[in-house]
A and B are shown apart, each in its own frame.
Chain A
Amino acid sequence: MCEAATQAGAPAPQARFAPGILSVLSWPLIAFLVVYILMPIVVTLLMSFNDAQMIRFPITNWSLRWYEDFFNSGQWTEALTNSIVIALGTTAISTSTGILAAWAFERYRIPFGRFWYFLIILPLFMPGVVLGLGVAIAFGGIQIGSISLYGSRGLVMLAHSLWAMPLVFMLMEATFKTVDYKVVEASYDLGGRPVRTFFEIVLPMVSTGITSSALFAFVISLNEFVMALFLTDRDTQTLPVLMWLSLRSAGTPRLAVASVILALTVFACLTLIMVWYVRQLRKVATK
């Protein structure tokens, strides 16, 4: 068996180690992983097409009734809008600040660089409940003019940026390392000012890194609900917050629909970026 695999041109290095482990582990492990990871998704999809009031299996009647219900409910569509607006805001804040900081770390020698680096990524390790509580305490009573900061979408965007920005920063730091700086030097030599070089030469070279880190920022904010639970009120609550609150009172198939719609939003963004990425590749190929 082993011999045959080697002769058939299978990669030799793992040929002898692999069958021993793979034949024992591989299929049950794959089956377990696929079932475990896909189970909540499959259950949710099935339940979202349920016609009944209650969440129980088996499902006897199928319909789109809860989808209709979701889109006819002002409270739920508004929560979806809030989620998307907050996620877009978080993406804008965290990508712009994260990219600039990563550029600073890549191109300049910064005194105590390791300390600043650690400080910037530190919030990424903090539990949401801690960050949410801190922001709520610090900004709870602050008013700008007649608008209360607490409960506003802007505050949630800033709080979500505490997770999104360090992630963008780390991803972009790694991406900037791959840039060919001879091109940047050439631009300087031809009289390109640093700012113009950055926007016209460097950013296009790292556009894939930027879009993928922006996607991560968007997804983190869209899905997050512990900080949002601490920082939103009835008018600004996001979809995950509303789902959490209604799970605590009573679960209906509407929650399954909300899960599906949340996931579809994420996958729509993923698809958009994939399409963009493929087009980008084609452009390079035709050049």
Chain B
Amino acid sequence: MAGRLIPWSLMGPALAIVVVVFGLPTLQMARMSFNLHSSQGLYTPGFTFDNYVTLFTNPVFTGAMRTTVQLALLASLATVAIGYCFAVLVWLKPARWRLLFIALALCPLLISEISIIFGWWMFLPKNGLLSHVLLSAGLITDKISLMYTEFAAFIGLVYITLPYAFFIMLSVLDGIDKGVLEASADLGGSPLVTWKEVLLPLTSGGLQVAFSQSFIWTMGTYATPSALGPDTLWTLGFLVQEQMLGKHNWPLASALAMILVIGVAAVVVFTGMIMSRRSRYHV
């Protein structure tokens, strides 16, 4: 009987952290999202759907949801495309290159998001390095600024998520026997045909996982788009922070956060379904 308790006591501390610091707070947040907002305190206990009605009718919030999803879609498409090419490159290059490439891919992971933001913040504006270099090279005649544009937000988001897509794709590729490429070439397949008919089907599952992982990350990251993008680029994450720290409207901030939680959970469950369906195919 005592033996049965051992695994639970081993798991206990980890489960306690998840339940106490994540589970219960999330439930409390869900409850909070139905409370009323009052002008004096942070909230008044009550039960109302008003916060959610506001979210789905107020153009500011519906606009933010659209912006968030659009930006996340675009950025994750680019991330997966670049990460895929990068991973294929590392996979095909001789092994002595590998460590260097992996060190390169680790850079964005090991550097704080704030340092990355600040780095681009010095590169893109009018007095930044990009403008200076282009001007000195004579490619432009007037200083240019890419700062506070949607493109800047896009650059920053792709930078942050690239390593995740890269490492997911690399681990998938490492599981593939390179001999299949040779076999395809022997049978007269051109590189393009080989890629389309052999490599792509073998990696499509990995691509889906990499895409959903990037999508989750870009959807939840708010500092990068709000610091690099235009003032009007409002994402859900930015609005959560704004309502919480700026407007002190806890119920509305919670409702916004719940939308994010549901969105992320939907993507995770969807990915899980894709993966289990695929594994059934293979068996």
**Does A pair with B?**
yes
Chain A residues at the B interface, C-beta cutoff of 8 Å: 10-18, 20-22, 25-26, 29-30, 33-34, 36-41, 43-44, 46-47, 54-58, 93, 96-98, 100-101, 103-105, 107-110, 116, 119-120, 122-123, 125-131, 133-139, 158-159, 161-162, 165, 169, 194, 219, 222-226, 229-230, 240, 243-244, 247-248, 251, 255-256, 259, 262-263, 266-267, 270
* B residues 12-34 touching A (CB-CB < 8 Å): 13-15, 17-18, 21-26, 28-29, 32
Segment of B50-58, B59-67, B114-122, B203-211 engaged in the interface with chain A: B114-122
Q: Determine the residue in chain B with the shortest Cβ distance to A96.
A: B13
CB distance from B35 to the nearest CB of A (A): 10
The winner among B129, B227, B264 for most chain A CB atoms within 10 A is: B129
The 7 closest A-B pairs by CB, nearest first: A40-B119, A127-B220, A20-B191, A134-B25, A56-B127, A223-B112, A108-B7
Instruction: Give 19 A-B pairs besides A17-B191, A20-B191, A130-B26 with Cβ atoms closer than 8 angstroms.
Output: A20-B192, A21-B195, A37-B104, A58-B132, A97-B14, A98-B14, A100-B14, A104-B11, A108-B6, A133-B244, A135-B25, A137-B254, A138-B25, A162-B18, A224-B112, A256-B118, A259-B112, A262-B111, A262-B115
Contacts of B15 in A (CB 8 A): 101, 116, 119-120
B14 engages A169 (CB within 8 Å): yes
Cα(A21)–Cα(B123), bound, Å: 32
Number of interface residues of B (CB under 8 A): 85
Contact A21 B220, CB 8 Å, known A36-B159, A41-B111, A263-B111: no
Question: Can you list 19 A-B pairs, Cβ within 8 angstroms, ordered by A?
Answer: A12-B182, A13-B181, A17-B185, A29-B86, A39-B119, A41-B111, A46-B129, A97-B14, A100-B14, A108-B7, A123-B18, A127-B237, A135-B21, A158-B21, A225-B113, A226-B223, A226-B241, A243-B118, A263-B111
Q: Residue B129 contacts which of A15, A57, A103, A162 (CB distance < 8 angstroms)?
A: A57
Tally of contacts, chain A with chain B, CB under 8 A? 271
B235-247 interface bits toward A, Cβ cutoff 8 Å, 1 = contact, 0 = none: 0010011001100
A138 engages B24 (CB within 8 Å): yes
Cα(A110)–Cα(B15), bound, Å: 13
A225 engages B112 (CB within 8 Å): yes
Q: Residue A262 contacts which of B6, B26, B112, B194 (CB distance < 8 angstroms)?
A: B112
Chain B residues at the A interface, C-beta cutoff of 8 Å: 6-8, 10-11, 13-15, 17-18, 21-26, 28-29, 32, 82, 85-86, 88-89, 92-94, 104-105, 107-123, 127-129, 131-132, 136, 159, 162, 178-179, 181-182, 184-185, 190-192, 194-195, 216, 219-223, 227, 237, 240-241, 244-245, 250, 253-254, 257, 260-261, 264, 268
